[in-house]
Structure 1
Amino acid sequence: MVSARQLADAGYKAFSGSMMLLTLYGGYLCSARAYRYFQRQRALRQLQQSPPSTGVVED
């Protein structure tokens, strides 16, 4: 039979493990969003620096 202490320890470990996984997943989401933000900023900066091409050929 499982004692109350063993049950509480198992519950604590399960809860702590799930919180650790949630923290890791949150960190992943945050870093992925930051990466996309900086990629977008870089692309916008390159668009501003490059001359616009209209596709019209002048004689």
Structure 2
Amino acid sequence: MLGAKRIADVGYRVFSGSMMVLTVYGGYLCAMRGYRYMQRQKELELAAQNQTVDPETVKD
């Protein structure tokens, strides 16, 4: 039979391991969100540069 200390040690290691995995996964999600944000900003900037101005809509 396993002792209480041994069970506690295994539980601690499992918990610590799961927290490390969650931390890495959270970092990945954060990085991907930042990457998508930067890509979207580049797309919007490119669309703004490529937008043509119709002379009839611009009136003095």
TM range (shorter): 0.7 to 0.9
Q: Distance in 2 between matches of 1:23 and 1:3?
A: 30
2:48 aligned partner: 48
Runs of 4+ in 1 over 3 A off after TM superposition: none
Gaps of 5+ in 1: 55-59
Q: Which digits, 9 at most, give the CA deviation of each residue in 1:6-32, with x for residues without a partner? A: 100000000000000100110111011
Gaps of 5+ in 2: 55-60
Corresponding pairs, count: 54
TM-score by length of 1: 0.83
TM-score by length of 2: 0.81
Q: Distance in 2 between matches of 1:9 and 1:28?
A: 29
RMSD: 1.6
Q: In percent, how many aligned pairs have the same letter? A: 54
